[in-house]
């Protein structure tokens, strides 16, 4: 057994009445933990639910390995009495259980890996659908009983959503970002420093922004947006999920997707999509020369990943046109200040 590993996390979470994991919070996940820590975790493979004796032994081992922060965390978990779990991923393989899945989502939102930087295959099948409430995660089958118990106490169980993924900010709040509506950013989103997510912006898991950037549209699963790009209100990107299409959609640097527009192809750098225009791989385009004259036709997939393009719809003929766009989108610096 080698002393190398892909990732490690020591977490605290929630069980249902059957003792099954609903969710796990990893406050200090580690990517590529050092050899001393991996040695201290001998016998701790995959996701190990820890009783008090095991947690105490782990704390001692971490202290001996001089992993001060992790040892301190183990001590705090020991004092809390809450369900604790240690996850050691030797390799970057598909998650096999809820704690492994949550560790990988934390790696993304902590900016330790970028979208597509870890294997998430099968994640949907691993994570349970959960009622997210003001009392934390609740098993769907137990919601009615918990609602009754709350009413009998003269309280109300507030169910904010029912989903497999919680909102990111209940687990991770990255430095240097603005999020106007936190429920619209899922755990597993990657938000680079300088990113602004406006009220209508949405970021799925395994997706996000390099930053800085202004996001007023939808960043679907698997989509990564380059630095300095602007997604206008109501715009959308077609996502790429495990087992889905073989084209990874991305947005390059200094791009603009106009309000209510959208893309189903990857964009290179400094591209613009006109407001209200949705470009899919099969969209037929009229290519224009530098003088604005039509020269040939093509499908949008033929321009995937190419830079300095402007996509627009001819207001007279209705044809979708593409021409070179040499003027990069310059975002308002004041809007993107986060200090």
Measured between alpha carbons, how far is 168 from 193 in angstroms, rounded to an integer?
15
Measured between alpha carbons, how far is 307 from 325 in angstroms, rounded to an integer?
9
Measured between alpha carbons, how far is 160 from 52 in angstroms, rounded to an integer?
33
Residues in contact with 32: Cβ distance below 8 Å, sequence separation at least 6, in sequence order: 4, 5, 6, 7
Measured between alpha carbons, how far is 68 from 70 in angstroms, rounded to an integer?
6
Measured between alpha carbons, how far is 46 from 37 in angstroms, rounded to an integer?
15
Q: What is the CA radius of gyration of the chain?
A: 23
Helices and strands in the chain, H and E counts: 6, 27
333: three-class secondary structure by DSSP: coil
Alpha-carbon distances, residue 73 vs 12, 59, 80, 283, 333 (angstroms): 10, 8, 11, 53, 39
- The alpha-helical segments, DSSP class H, found in 89-142 are 98-109, 123-126
Catalytic residue among 216, 254, 274, 321: 216
In the annotation, is 216 catalytic?
yes
Q: What residues are labeled active site?
A: 216
């Amino acid at each position: 057994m080698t002393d190398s590993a892909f990732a490690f996390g020591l977490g605290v979470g929630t069980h249902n009445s059957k003792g099954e994991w609903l969710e796990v919070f990893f406050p200090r996940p580690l990517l590529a933990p050092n050899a001393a820590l991996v040695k201290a975790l001998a016998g701790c493979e995959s996701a190990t639910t820890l009783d008090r004796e095991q947690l105490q032994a782990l704390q001692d081992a971490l202290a001996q390995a001089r992993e001060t922060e992790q040892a301190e965390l183990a001590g705090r978990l020991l004092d809390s009495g809450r369900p604790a779990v240690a996850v050691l991923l030797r390799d970057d393989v598909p998650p096999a259980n809820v704690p492994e899945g949550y560790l990988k989502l934390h790696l993304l939102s902590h900016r330790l890996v970028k979208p597509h930087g870890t294997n998430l295959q099968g994640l949907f099948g691993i994570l349970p659908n959960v009622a997210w409430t003001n009392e934390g995660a609740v098993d769907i089958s137990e919601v009615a009983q918990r609602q009754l118990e709350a009413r009998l106490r003269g309280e109300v169980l507030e169910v904010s959503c029912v989903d497999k993924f919680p909102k990111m900010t209940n687990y991770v709040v990255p430095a240097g970002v603005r999020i106007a509506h936190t429920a619209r950013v899922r755990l597993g989103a990657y938000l680079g420093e300088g990113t602004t997510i406006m009220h209508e912006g949405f970021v799925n898991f395994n997706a996000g922004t390099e930053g800085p950037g202004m996001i007023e549209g939808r960043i679907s699963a698997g989509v990564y947006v380059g630095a300095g790009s602007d997604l206008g209100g109501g715009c959308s990107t077609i996502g790429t999920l495990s087992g889905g299409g073989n084209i990874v959609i991305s947005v390059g640097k200094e791009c603009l997707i106009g309000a209510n527009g959208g893309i189903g192809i990857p964009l290179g750098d400094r591209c613009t999509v006109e407001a209200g225009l949705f470009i899919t791989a099969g969209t037929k385009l009229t290519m224009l020369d530098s003088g604005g004259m039509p020269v040939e036709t093509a499908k949008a997939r033929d321009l995937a990943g190419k830079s300095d393009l402007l996509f627009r719809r001819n207001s007279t003929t209705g044809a979708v046109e593409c021409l070179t766009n040499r003027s990069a989108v310059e975002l308002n610096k004041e809007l993107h200040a986060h200090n």
